[in-house]
Amino acid sequence: MTAFSLDPTQTAWCAELRTWAEQRLRPLAEKGEPGRVNRALVAELGQLGLLDRLFTAGALELCLMRESLAYACTEAETALALQGLGACPVHAHGTESQRARWLPGVRAGTTVAAFALSEPGAGSDAAALSLTAAPGPGPASGWRLSGEKCWISNAPEADFYTVFARTTPGAGSRGVTAFLVPADRPGLTGGALDMLSPHPIGTLAFDDVHVTGDDVLGQPDRGFRVAMGTLNLFRPSVGAFAVGMAQAALDATLAHTAGRDAFGAKLKDLQTVAHQVAEMDLRVEAARLMVYAAATAYDDGAPDVPRRSAMAKLLATETAQYVVDRAVQLHGARALRRGHLLEHLYREVRAPRIYEGASEVQRAIIAKELYATVEAP
């Protein structure tokens, strides 16, 4: 297999995922409450074995899962991705006891995980975290977490959080530690946020929350590596999420323009419409290829993964925004009705251009990686 094609087994698996999403996951998603964790949906992802695959899949397989689920049920895709964001750091950096405590429930869909990185004043600037982890009075007393987190997926309903806090003031990215914090830890509270997209997102408040060495993921003051390693894995798959939505919008547009009569002909027979659809298809395919290439580079251990991941997320999310917007325009007023597929996608597609690093941050990463290879004159 190359970065630019799928073998028959992968193609068949993607088709099976779409079927599951349409027949088994979407009915559960439709019964859920917008902005709340849909535990029945998460449990069904566990029953299908998809949550277990989060810990065995490479980046490309993760992309195929997210793209296929997003095509037919964006809520299922998001539930899968949020479980991965919160739990993959535990799988990659946790101790045996940490993994044994939390990962079986994540795999089964009975335990909800969350990734707590963003803050009110440090959304995309992960090195500027201000949530403090103050050391206790003795070497074995651990730390006390004080501060806030914001825009946290699955908050405040998750069962545990992968939390990033500052353990060394003034050290930038070198002074951040990752902690595994159970939701019932005294002093930890939170609230839900009402967002444009129907995702479960909220805030967390840490009021002198006690954590110990047993709660550390990885090494003290090395949590930035945990965060960036997780984001480098998931950024191409955010692009895959976007590609799945864009493909759904494109397919809906093809069906609509092929059957809709206007001005004495089918919409597809109008050159201005046909050219727009062709442009949509061109951009979707280009984004898909870049996502697959970035995921394959990650799986191969290529040295330029940060740049490729940033490029894939940037191109795919911007492409999806364009394609969904064009699809709405070509459908006309019917696409604006509540409950229409494109009305749903129009609300869903805006968020990926911001979370896990806004488009502007991705451009900054790309430029930084490019100039790192240039020798000053």
State which of 221, 248, 277 marks the end of a domain. Answer: 221
Q: Which amino acid is at 322?
A: Y
Do 204 and 121 have their domain in common?
A: yes
146 - beta bridge partners?
Answer: 132, 207
Instruction: Give Cα separations from 236 to 156, 229, 273, 292, 360 (angstroms).
Output: 26, 12, 31, 8, 16
Q: Which two tokens stand for residue 22?
A: 């349409």
Give the per-residue pLDDT at 356. Answer: 82
Do 237 and 216 have their domain in common?
A: no
In a domain, 1, yes or no: no
Residues marked active site are found at 356
> What are the 10-residue block averages of pLDDT along the chain, 377 residues in total?
74 96 96 93 97 92 96 96 95 95 97 94 72 81 93 95 92 89 97 89 96 94 90 89 97 94 85 96 97 93 91 96 97 93 95 89 93 81
Asked whether the whole model's pTM tops 0.75, one would answer yes
115 - beta bridge partners?
Answer: 162
Do 169 and 72 have their domain in common?
A: no
Cβ–Cβ < 8 Å for 224, 232? no
In a domain, 158, yes or no: yes
Alpha helices for 214-358 (secondary structure H): 223-259, 271-299, 305-331, 341-348
Number of domains in the chain: 3
**CA 118 to centroid of chain Cα atoms:** 14
Which helix (H) or strand (E) covers residue 26, if one does? helix 26-31
Cβ–Cβ < 8 Å for 315, 296? no
In a domain, 3, yes or no: no
Distance between CA atoms of residues 331 and 280, nearest Å: 14
Do 136 and 201 have their domain in common?
A: yes
Distance between CA atoms of residues 335 and 346, nearest Å: 9
Give the per-residue pLDDT at 63. Answer: 96
DSSP symbol at 212: -
State which of 89, 108, 127 marks the end of a domain. Answer: 108
Distance between CA atoms of residues 43 and 38, nearest Å: 9
CATH code of the domain in which 172 resides: 2.40.110.10
Instruction: Give Cα separations from 33 to 37, 71, 77, 108 (angstroms).
Output: 8, 20, 16, 21
The dihedral formed by the CA atoms of 45, 47, 50 and 53, expressed in degrees to the nearest 10: 140
Give the per-residue pLDDT at 357. Answer: 84
Phi, psi of 204 (to 5 degrees): -130, 140
Give the per-residue pLDDT at 1. Answer: 43
Do 101 and 155 have their domain in common?
A: no
The whole domain housing 293 covers 225-371
Task: Tell me the pLDDT tens digit for each residue of 68-124.
Answer: 999 999 999 999 999 999 999 999 999 999 999 999 999 999 999 999 999 987 765
Phi, psi of 190 (to 5 degrees): -170, 175
In a domain, 270, yes or no: yes
Q: Which amino acid is at 120?
A: P
CATH code of the domain in which 330 resides: 1.20.140.10
Which residues have CB under 8 Å from 283's CB, separation 6+? 246, 319, 322, 323
**CA 210 to centroid of chain Cα atoms:** 29
Instruction: Give Cα separations from 330 to 156, 255, 282 (angstroms).
Output: 39, 11, 17
State which of 108, 142, 169 marks the end of a domain. Answer: 108
Do 212 and 258 have their domain in common?
A: no
